[in-house]
Structure 1
Amino acid sequence: MNMRYEIALETFRKLSPTKAFSNPVMAIVWIGTWLSLLLAPSNNLGWAFGIAVFVALLTTVLFANFAEAVAEARGRGQARALREARKDLMANVLLQDGSVQIKPASALQCGDRVRVSAGEQIPADGEIVQGCASISEAAVTGESAPVLREAETDRSGVIGGTLVMSDQIDVEITAAPGDSFLDRMISLVEGANRQKTPNEIALGQLLIIMTLTFLIVVLTLPFVARQLGLQINPLILIALLVCLIPTTISGLLPAIGIAGMNRALKHNVLAKSGKAVEVAGDLDVLMLDKTGTITHGDRMATRIIPLGRYTEDTARRISYLTSAMDPTPEGKSIVTLAGDQAEWKATLTNAEFLPFSATTRMSGLNLSNGVQLRKGAADSITAHCAQLGGRIPPKTESLVEEIARAGGTPLLVCEDADIVAVIELSDVVKPGIQARFARLRSMGIRTVMITGDNPLTAAAIAAKAGVDDYMAQARPEDKLARIREEQAAGHLVAMVGDGTNDAPALAQADIGLAMNSGTQAAREAGNMVDLDSNPTKLLEVVEIGKQQLITRGALTTFSLANDVSKYFAILPVLFVPISPGMASLNVMHLASTSSAVLSALIFNAIVIPLLIPLALKGVPFVPGPATNLLRRNMLVYGAGGVLLPFIGIKLIDLALQFIRF
């Protein structure tokens, strides 16, 4: 369906009572619209005036509906693209006897295991339990470059509808039919599951109270006027009520909330609720992992320093041997730095490789001649050598400390009980990250770096990156405890994570940004998912949240300021018959009663579509103290909201005189 036709159809569909009464303020305008049509033939200002009031009020309601319809249509447009990835696929289900059964993806249940080969689409959300593959997620993220997903890592989660580009993987299904990532994503971007934010609810309640107050005032006016010998035209009372109540912000409020989620999705961030976007605007503590977020993440060997009696050649040879069978990026970089000689390779024959263990914090080889070679963290290697009766070379401790203070990671290499060399690994801080943290600091947000490195290395990286605080040697339980500690002190905390061990912290944080590439547990725990799996994306999310808060505040200020000007259009013509002195309030010198009423109503209607682009795009956000933002809003949207209606209403009044209404 053409989007313009869809928007128009939805605009008129919202005129139905069930839709109209979902917004109490606009429901009053809706009732006044049909009352004005009934009163049009019998009012003392003529039927043409009555029809004109009806048309102006109907236009006001339609424009308010149009604002929400445009925002919803944008979400539906994004949802259509996502539906293309959710075709009725067929799955190769692995049975317990080892055979394969083909069944529709819609029939898959949680716990089923499916085999997906190169060129096939993944039938449903799940975790890779065997194998690794290059996967194109373009259907979901729009990013054409394939990503690597591998079993038993923090990048094992896969999404239904994505395409396997190479190799073969076995996937365990983790989503029930109709509850997949894409199903929920489509529902969210369409706005079907959009929850109102606390600020939006509070503002809505304030607008309802204001509307009820003005309704009571307007309903009592005829009785007061009758005591003074004056009869007020009911159409003017309806027009007065509509101009008094905050119709502008009420008409735009749903669109602002939907647009906030859509703006996040434009940055490939899926917010599970509008509340998540808005809370991001109030954050004051941001917790980020060091590796891959603040630094590039791939630590590279930059120096091999021999210790004690060992020569440089021997140090290089033993460093090579400890890393030749190490598949990690660090191990490969050590091999590259040490060099490659045929005689060294021969030593590896029948050698037993010991992979890195989080318990021992070491890896290495047991050679066929019985020699044990180990490589690992400084404290682990020194303890290992001491246990075997070895001695620690004099310069070891000072070199380790020097490398750590410079922001590097020191590794020790040992041969049996003797420490041979220290290897320096360097992890480079991402360019421009200091400026981004400074930008957050200007918004009043404190940044905390989380790392498993030792305190000296953590302090050096924190200083280079420009973060406000850091946690060294952090375990999953430490992250959770720190978040709770910050929240107990009254702070709103954001956390970034991608692994199953990050799930508790993601669930505890006020904003949990999970990486799309991460595990299903992490995606379920977070209230936002970054489809690009870029941990620094949270910086953009904070700005989107603040922009939404500022947009709602600016348009609310503008709307209420508008009402002040409209009072000067209608109140003088209403009360001049009672008190001729009220004529001095007609500062716009409007031509007549009918012209004043229609000018105010027409301006009240057309200001809504004029503000729709601002509501959808958002007020430009410039980081700064809250007082500066408030001052700017009051100046631009407060003063502007008072002055613009004076100009607009007067111009409409002149136009009505020109056409001799």
Structure 2
Amino acid sequence: MQHSHPSPTPHGAHTGIAEHDAPEAHHDHGTHGDHSGHEGHSGHGGHAGHGDHVGQFRRLFWINLIIAVPVVVFSPMFAMLLGYSVPEFPGALWIAPVLGTVMYIWGGRPFLTGAVSEIRSRQPGMMLLIGLAITVAFIASWGATLGILDHQLDFWWELALLIVIMLLGHWVEMRSLAQTTSALDSLAALLPDMAERIDGDELVSVSPNELQRGDLVLVRPGASVPADGTIREGRADVDESMVTGESRPVTRSTGDSVVAGTVATDSSLRIEVTATGDDTALAGIQRLVTEAQNSSSRAQRIADTAAAWLFWFALGAAVITAVTWSLLGMPDEAVVRTVTVLVIACPHALGLAIPLVVSIATERAARGGVLVKDRLALEAMRTVDAVLFDKTGTLTKGEPVLAEVIPRHAEAAEVLALAAAAEAESEHPLARAIVSKAQADGVRVPTGTDISSTPALGVSAQVDGHQIRVGGPRLLEETGAGEIEEAVSWREEGAIILHVLRDGEVIGGLKLSDEVRPESREAVDALHSLGVEVVMITGDAEAVANSVGRELGIDRVFAGVRPEDKSSKVAQLQKEGKKVAMVGDGVNDAPALAQADVGIAIGAGTDVAIASAGVVLASSDPRSVLSVIELSRAAYRKMKQNLWWAAGYNLISVPLAAGILAPIGFVLPMSVGAVLMSLSTIVVALNAQLLRRLDLRPEATVAALRDRR
């Protein structure tokens, strides 16, 4: 039925899940950060398949640790250092060389094949350094065993310890990276194993993969929704926290959309399937998390560059060390010092510093309903000093509510009841707002008959023997009735004004407005506490915009802006020297989201793959923007700490390993260098793990900021 009330500001529907061209998942940087291209890692690109590699390196570590014990015990140099004699029996002297060779070939294989891969790709890095160090130690040890080189170059025990420590560091790293993919694992686990499809009068158990569009499925209380769909029968409180991050269940009833993986908590639902498999919201979220974890970031490129420079720094230091000690007439010491330099300089920690932080940050974000599509966007968010909110559907709910009833010649409840009776059959948003208000206030609504609507005039009905009409200014013009006094001030606020007439006489006025989200005020106040300017942009008239702006305490308001002009307003702020984050619904706001330094699509709900945004907020809570800022700042702090620790450690330890303090009697042993190097890796890994403490739920973020003030 066509309705004729003045329309509220139109609010576009969300786009569906868009198929994105996934960024190249395989970054062959040759760093420890992603291990791509390392044959020894079975060619795992990005962070896929870390679970398998955790098991692989765990086994390698424990087996090589067991083999290392006799290698160390039967190593003559180690025995001499500790002052004991190597047990003597036939073949005892060959235990260390034989088992040491096994360790070099088997335990060292991941590093050796990684080194070959780095040479082929002409991207020297950590693997080449490790490979070089263990190869030099292996050759020198055999030389000493066969009597070709000085017996002091017997490095079997150090080679064994180096390989074991390297495998331990690698295992710790792989386990950490595997944990960061748990967001994807938990998302996949949300889908039920079986779905109940309704075929006529029968229920058939099928795999969710077998469902097709148009199928009708039964979801029992406490069960997961197997596919995206529309409720055809039933009403239930649905737990959507695993998809949106919102903790409270949301009431869903006939006609509402539901998302795969959400849970009907209290009642059963009959759902018509609208999307399956890769088209579901859940699949879209998984794609976003995968893309984000596999996307290269500016910080990652800095780490890659640092690792490459460190290779040349280490190689240069090794050459200088070898030449210097040789010129001093100590060729054996030259080999010892050179090997130690190569061992110490392995950028294990540097390669782990950035990717681990970003991976954990991405996973924490996904659990909090913040989906990071572009790592650069996450990194840039910490520098944002102006947040530009689209009004409709972002700061407000994008749907009208009946805010006030002013009675004339009748009680307020009677005015509302008669208006609701006339509007009862209409699906117009204004009509729904009036009927909803009557239901919420417990008003008894009489039955209307002869209901009709007239374009531009409003709706008319017979109620209890009276003609009831509800409409806007044109209705008053036609009937010659005067508007209520409050209409003037309402109009200044930008509200929609309807009058209720009984038999041609005005008996009251209705004030309808776009409802401001209760969380919006908290979001604006919290942004101000961070020193961020808050700007609102809308296509609404100035009166409407200024009213919302005043209510929320917004710094600047751009009103009457057409969708195609929003990006120019973003550019205007950028010309003022501001770093701008644009927050919108991702539909009409697409050009502005793309123009902004960071584009954030909010309230995406099931439409999680909006192409123009770098960050997608699964919930409609504007406070989630603060979660992104807090995550960005926390992640940056961890990156900076890890980079300083990793790079600083190398810059200090390499000269010590080279023997720069030898004149005063201090020489860094190779074994100590290996231990320190792996400890550096573990420190970086543990530091990154502290990010897991972050609670990114909007209410928790706001509370934390409030406590900080």
Asked whether the 8 Å contact 2:382–2:632 carries over to 1, the reply is yes
C-alpha change, 1:56 and 1:224, in structure 2 (3 Å) is same
The corresponding residue for 2:449 is 350
Cα-to-partner distance string for 1:441-486 (whole Å, 9 max, x where unaligned): 4555433335566433432432342333334466655656645665
Asked whether the 8 Å contact 1:132–1:168 carries over to 2, the reply is yes
Aligned with 1:168 (options 254, 267, 270):
270
C-alpha change, 1:221 and 1:429, in structure 2 (3 Å) is same
AA at the equivalent of 2:461: N
DSSP-derived class of the 1:395 partner: coil
The corresponding residue for 1:630 is none
C-alpha change, 1:598 and 1:90, in structure 2 (3 Å) is closer
Structure 2 residue 490 is the aligned partner of structure 1 residue 400? yes
Aligned with 1:335 (options 438, 450, 454):
438
- Alignment of structure 1 residues 281-430 onto 2, 5 Å: 281-290=382-391, 294=395, 301=402, 303-306=404-407, 310-313=408-411, 317-324=414-421, 325=423, 330-332=433-435, 334-335=437-438, 340=443, 345-346=445-446, 348-352=447-451, 364-367=459-462, 371=467, 373-375=469-471, 381-386=472-477, 388=478, 390=480, 392-393=482-483, 395-396=485-486, 398-401=488-491, 404=493, 409=495, 411-415=497-501, 421-424=508-511
Structure 2 residue 686 is the aligned partner of structure 1 residue 613? yes
Asked whether the 8 Å contact 2:600–2:617 carries over to 1, the reply is no
Cα-to-partner distance string for 1:31-89 (whole Å, 9 max, x where unaligned): 13422233235467855872454355435533542343233232344444333333454
Structure with larger RCO (C-alpha < 8 A, sep 6+): 2
AA at the equivalent of 1:536: R
CA RMSD of aligned residues (A): 4.8
C-alpha change, 1:68 and 1:527, in structure 2 (3 Å) is farther
Offset at residue 228 of structure 1 (A)? 6.1
Asked whether the 8 Å contact 1:57–1:601 carries over to 2, the reply is yes
AA at the equivalent of 1:196: S
C-alpha change, 1:470 and 1:270, in structure 2 (3 Å) is same
The corresponding residue for 1:260 is 361
Aligned with 2:636 (options 545, 549, 557):
549
CA distance in 2, matches of 1:300, 1:464: 16
C-alpha change, 1:311 and 1:500, in structure 2 (3 Å) is same
C-alpha change, 1:414 and 1:141, in structure 2 (3 Å) is closer
AA at the equivalent of 2:469: L
CA distance in 2, matches of 1:454, 1:56: 73
Structure 2 residue 527 is the aligned partner of structure 1 residue 440? yes
Structure 2 residue 304 is the aligned partner of structure 1 residue 196? no
Cα-to-partner distance string for 1:4-52 (whole Å, 9 max, x where unaligned): 9984534567936556757953213321342223323546785587245
Asked whether the 8 Å contact 1:53–1:239 carries over to 2, the reply is no
Aligned with 2:311 (options 205, 211, 228):
211
Asked whether the 8 Å contact 2:198–2:218 carries over to 1, the reply is no
User: Unmatched 5+ residue regions in structure 2?
Assistant: 1-49, 61-108, 695-709
Cα-to-partner distance string for 1:311-351 (whole Å, 9 max, x where unaligned): 353x654443223445877424653798846xxx55x4314
Aligned with 1:147 (options 224, 240, 250):
250
DSSP-derived class of the 1:281 partner: helix
Name the stretch that deviates more: 64-73 or 501-510. 501-510
Offset at residue 498 of structure 1 (A)? 5.5
DSSP-derived class of the 2:638 partner: helix
CA distance in 1, matches of 2:160, 2:354: 23
AA at the equivalent of 2:418: L
Name the stretch that deviates more: 411-420 or 458-467. 411-420
AA at the equivalent of 2:690: K
AA at the equivalent of 1:320: A
C-alpha change, 1:185 and 1:34, in structure 2 (3 Å) is farther
C-alpha change, 1:516 and 1:89, in structure 2 (3 Å) is farther
C-alpha change, 1:17 and 1:148, in structure 2 (3 Å) is farther
DSSP-derived class of the 1:562 partner: helix
User: Unmatched 5+ residue regions in structure 1?
Assistant: 376-380, 577-582, 622-661
C-alpha change, 1:67 and 1:284, in structure 2 (3 Å) is farther
C-alpha change, 1:353 and 1:156, in structure 2 (3 Å) is farther
Offset at residue 201 of structure 1 (A)? 1.6
Offset at residue 609 of structure 1 (A)? 0.9
The corresponding residue for 2:180 is 75
Asked whether the 8 Å contact 1:264–1:271 carries over to 2, the reply is yes
DSSP-derived class of the 2:548 partner: helix
Asked whether the 8 Å contact 1:353–1:366 carries over to 2, the reply is yes
CA distance in 2, matches of 1:5, 1:37: 29
DSSP-derived class of the 2:448 partner: coil
Q: How many pairs were matched up?
A: 574
Cα-to-partner distance string for 1:168-217 (whole Å, 9 max, x where unaligned): 332322x5x45644446557667896222123123312331342244234
The corresponding residue for 2:600 is 512
The corresponding residue for 2:370 is 269
CA distance in 2, matches of 1:258, 1:535: 24
CA distance in 2, matches of 1:508, 1:417: 53
Asked whether the 8 Å contact 1:41–1:47 carries over to 2, the reply is no
C-alpha change, 1:397 and 1:145, in structure 2 (3 Å) is closer
Offset at residue 264 of structure 1 (A)? 0.9
The corresponding residue for 1:461 is 548
Q: What is the percentage of aligned positions where both structures have the same residue? A: 20
DSSP-derived class of the 1:311 partner: coil
CA distance in 2, matches of 1:40, 1:270: 52
Asked whether the 8 Å contact 2:303–2:350 carries over to 1, the reply is no
Aligned with 2:166 (options 61, 80, 83):
61
Asked whether the 8 Å contact 1:437–1:467 carries over to 2, the reply is yes
DSSP-derived class of the 2:155 partner: helix
Asked whether the 8 Å contact 1:133–1:149 carries over to 2, the reply is yes
Asked whether the 8 Å contact 1:453–1:472 carries over to 2, the reply is yes
Asked whether the 8 Å contact 2:500–2:507 carries over to 1, the reply is yes
CA distance in 1, matches of 2:251, 2:508: 34
CA distance in 2, matches of 1:247, 1:193: 20
CA distance in 1, matches of 2:156, 2:402: 81
CA distance in 2, matches of 1:56, 1:431: 60
CA distance in 2, matches of 1:31, 1:451: 60
Aligned with 1:278 (options 371, 379, 402):
379
AA at the equivalent of 2:322: P
AA at the equivalent of 2:675: I
The corresponding residue for 1:37 is 138
C-alpha change, 1:340 and 1:603, in structure 2 (3 Å) is closer
The corresponding residue for 1:106 is 209
Normalising by structure 1, we get a TM-score of 0.70
Normalising by structure 2, we get a TM-score of 0.66
